[in-house]
Amino acid sequence: MPITQINNIVQGTQLDNLIGGIKPLNTNNKEEKKNFEDVIKDTIDKVNFQQATADDMKEKFIKGEDVSMHEVMLRGQEAQLSMQYLIEVRNKIHDAYQEMNKVQI
Q: What is the pLDDT of residues 13-27, one digit of tens each?
A: 555 555 555 555 555
Please give the Cα distance from 71 to 53 (Å, whole number): 11
Domain ranges of the chain: 3-24+32-102
More confident residue, 99 or 28: 99
| 0.85 exceeded by pTM | no
